[in-house]
């Protein structure tokens, strides 16, 4: 199904559980992006030829604050996908109750095929093409797939070439340019705060709780490190090339040392080497997909043996798999809540930039814990009260907040 249609179907479903009756007109407002910007970005390549790349910035809804969302550089970035992701940002920001609307941007390009100079020129052209619609109180981009702190430094520089020094125009910048301390570990840290809260509800002791993590990148490797420090048993981890498993638990600091020097799990001793498919099916308390989308589908959902799924990646479970897992009583904590740590700390970065001030790491982590824990409790209680899934509960809370603010502002 078209990704944007899929998001709107979920919204339609959640709109049955909101505090206010959602009329057809309100639903249309919630499902229609407020502004869709499509730009052509011509750049001169290193070989002297000119190449044109398609760029998008979709501003979905700004009723609760400036538009906020990442920019991805990916060969599959297209209009519908970016629209769907922009809508999800509206709901994610509302679910964790930070004062932002939702947006997403993208350029259809494989960043691995461009030189640093070409990427710089493309980022600059894209930023200057959409600059009228950006601003620290209008729309604040951040990194996503295929982009990073360097991309944000270039975006900040391009925007600043017209408007003057404006660090609050992007988040996820290098710390030297006003990035927040703790932003790199924030998504993984947020995921572990959610796991802590689930354990409290289920009266589980971390020492006797096993985790399996798919993906060992920016999110997965931090989940592994932070959860290990808290005493959880990390039974298995993986990257795109394969997985390792140990029933006794993996020593994560030792593994990180090995991984950093070898860039692979191959040859790591005293563990079982298994496939990524088998990793998903191993028995554990918490299964944490933290790699890519659509890894749990109708093909493997029936064989999943974990008790709980924590969606650290975006959209790792398909709607068909969702139904199968529900029938097996496997609880799923949704991506919109679980991986919100990154955007929460982006919010802190924006605040720090507006005040030209830098917070200590302790403050960043404790404020993150406060916000994500509050959101978890709201999603949990609402699900129990209404007897609905955590996914539906989270979306309903987001919808309630957006509808209420739209009402206050006179939109409905």
Map the footprint of ligand NAD across residues 248-287, applying CB under 6 A.
276
Alpha-carbon distance values, 133 to 4, 39, 159, 251 (Å): 22, 12, 11, 48
Q: How many CB atoms lie within 10 A of CB 206?
A: 16
Q: Are 322 and 391 in contact (CB under 8 A)?
A: yes
Q: Please identify, using beta-carbon distances, which residue of 162 and 240 lies nearer to ligand NAD.
A: 240
Any contact of residue 148 with ligand NAD (CB under 6 A)? no
Under the binding rule (CB under 6 A), the answer on residue 216 touching ligand NAD is yes
Specify the residue, 29 or 114, whose C-beta has the smaller distance to ligand NAD.
114
Spatial separation of the C-alpha atoms in residues 304 and 329, rounded to whole Å: 11
Quote the least distance from Cβ 87 to ligand NAD, whole Å: 15
CA geometry: angle at 143 spanning 141 and 145, to 5°? 130
Whole-number minimum distance, CB 148 to ligand NAD, in Å? 9
* Binds ligand NAD by CB under 6 A, chosen from 90, 187, 210, 393: 187
Chosen residue from 15, 147, 209, 238 binding ligand NAD by CB under 6 A: 238
Q: Which stretch binds ligand NAD (CB under 6 A): 30-38, 39-47, 253-261, 309-317?
A: 309-317
Q: Is 390 in the site for ligand NAD (CB under 6 A)?
A: no
Q: Which is nearer to ligand NAD, 63 or 219 (CB)?
A: 219
The CA distance from 362 to 353, in Å, is 18
Of 92, 104, 233, 307, the catalytic one is 104
Shortest distance, position 120 Cβ to ligand NAD, whole Å = 21
For the CB of residue 243, give the shortest distance to ligand NAD in the complex, in Å.
8
Q: Which is nearer to ligand NAD, 243 or 308 (CB)?
A: 243
CB of 216 to ligand NAD, least distance (A): 4
The residue from 314, 318, 336, 393 that contacts ligand NAD (CB under 6 A) is: 314
* Nearer CB in complex with ligand NAD: 29/84: 84
Instruction: Output 279 or 403, the one with its CB closest to ligand NAD.
Output: 279
386 assigned to active site: no
The answer to whether 139 touches 103, Cβ cutoff 8 Å, is: yes
- Position of minimal CB gap to ligand NAD: 217
Total of residues contacting ligand NAD (CB under 6 A): 20
Nearer to ligand NAD, 70 or 121 (CB): 70
Q: How far is the CB of 192 from ligand NAD (least distance, A)?
A: 14
Does position 290 interact with ligand NAD (CB under 6 A)? The reply is: yes
Does residue 185 touch ligand NAD according to CB under 6 A? no
Nearest-angstrom CA–CA distance, 359 and 349: 9
Nearer to ligand NAD, 159 or 216 (CB): 216
Query: Phi/psi at 243 (nearest 5 deg)?
Result: -135, 160
Q: Which of 177, 281, 292, 351 binds ligand NAD (CB under 6 A)?
A: 292
* Spatial separation of the C-alpha atoms in residues 322 and 331, rounded to whole Å: 10
Contacts to ligand NAD from residues 322-381, by CB under 6 A: 339, 342
Choice from 138, 218, 297, 300 touching ligand NAD (CB under 6 A):
218
Residue selected from 29, 96, 195, 219 as contacting ligand NAD according to rule CB under 6 A:
219
Phi, psi of 271 (to 5 degrees): -135, 160
- The span of 33-41, 106-114, 267-275, 306-314 binding ligand NAD (CB under 6 A) equals 306-314
Q: Is 150 in the site for ligand NAD (CB under 6 A)?
A: no
Query: Which residues on neighbouring strands pair with residue 116, listed in sequence order?
Result: none
Shortest distance (Å) from residue 70 CB to ligand NAD? 8
- What residues are annotated to the active site? 104
Contacting positions for ligand NAD (CB under 6 A): 187, 214-220, 238-240, 276, 290-292, 312-314, 339, 342
């Amino acid at each position: 199904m078209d990704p944007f249609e899929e998001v709107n179907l979920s919204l339609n479903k959640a709109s049955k559980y909101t505090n206010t009756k959602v009329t057809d007109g309100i639903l249309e407002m919630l499902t229609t992006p407020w502004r869709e910007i499509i730009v052509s970005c011509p750049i001169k390549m290193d070989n002297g030829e000119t190449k044109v790349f398609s760029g998008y910035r979709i501003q979905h809804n700004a009723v609760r604050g400036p538009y906020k969302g990442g920019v991805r550089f990916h060969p599959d970035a297209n209009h519908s996908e970016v629209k769907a992701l922009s809508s999800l940002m509206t709901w994610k920001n509302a679910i964790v109750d930070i004062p932002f609307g939702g947006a997403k941007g993208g350029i259809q390009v494989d960043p691995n095929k461009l030189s640093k100079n070409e990427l710089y020129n493309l980022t600059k052209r894209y930023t200057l093409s959409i600059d009228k619609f950006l601003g620290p109180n209008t729309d604040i981009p951040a990194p996503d797939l295929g982009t990073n702190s360097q991309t944000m430094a270039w975006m900040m520089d391009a925007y600043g070439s017209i408007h003057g020094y404006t660090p609050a125009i992007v988040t996820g910048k290098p710390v030297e340019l006003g990035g927040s301390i703790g932003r790199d570990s924030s998504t993984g840290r947020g995921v572990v705060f959610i796991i802590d809260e689930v354990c409290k509800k289920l009266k589980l002791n971390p020492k006797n709780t096993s985790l399996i993590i798919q993906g060992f990148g920016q999110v997965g490797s931090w989940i592994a490190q932070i959860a290990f420090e808290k005493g959880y048993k990390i039974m298995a981890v993986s990257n795109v090339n394969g997985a390792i498993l140990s029933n006794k638990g993996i020593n994560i600091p030792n593994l990180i040392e090995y991984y950093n020097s070898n860039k692979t799990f191959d040859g790591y001793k005293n563990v079982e080497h298994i496939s990524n498919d088998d990793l998903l099916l191993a028995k554990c308390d918490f299964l944490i997909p933290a790699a890519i989308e659509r890894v749990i589908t109708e093909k493997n959902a029936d064989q999943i043996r974990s008790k709980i799924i924590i969606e650290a990646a975006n959209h790792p479970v398909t709607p068909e798999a969702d139904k199968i897992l529900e029938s097996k009583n496997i609880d799923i904590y949704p991506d919109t809540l679980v991986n919100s740590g990154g955007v929460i700390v982006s919010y802190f970065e924006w605040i720090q930039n507006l005040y030209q001030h830098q917070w200590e790491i302790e403050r960043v982590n404790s404020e993150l814990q406060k916000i994500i824990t509050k959101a978890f409790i709201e999603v949990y209680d609402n699900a129990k009260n209404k007897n609905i899934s955590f996914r539906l509960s989270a979306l309903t809370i987001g919808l309630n907040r957006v509808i209420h603010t739209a009402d206050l502002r006179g939109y409905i």
